[in-house]
Amino acid sequence: MKQREVTDKHKTTWTCVQAYAATESAATDEAIKRSETHSGAVPVVCTPSGGAQTVRLELSKDWLDSLSDEELTAAIAAAK
């Protein structure tokens, strides 16, 4: 499972992972395909290290490599 950690300006560390990507199976592959939006966005769940609420984002398919830490933390802040 590929995941990414970022720390926001409030010193909260967020662990982000694409939804349904935790296991590898044919059913998982199908769930990932079905969850992709028409614009090519995928659901990403970000879980905080502290008492903040988990957030769900829709990001581009290549979010792991294409988004900077600043862009990812801005998306998290906007979703809260």
Q: Which of 25, 30, 76 is nearest to 49 (CA)?
A: 76
pLDDT (tens digit, 0 to 9) for every residue of the chain, 80 residues total?
689 999 999 999 999 998 765 556 565 555 556 556 667 788 999 999 977 799 999 999 889 999 999 999 999 999 98
Q: Give 42-76 as a DSSP string.
A: EEEEEEESSSSPPEEEEEETTHHHHS-HHHHHHHH
Token readout for 46 is 């970000």
pTM score, two decimals?
A: 0.77
- Strands across the sheet containing 41-48: 3-7, 13-18, 41-48, 55-60
Q: Partners of 77 in the beta sheet?
A: none
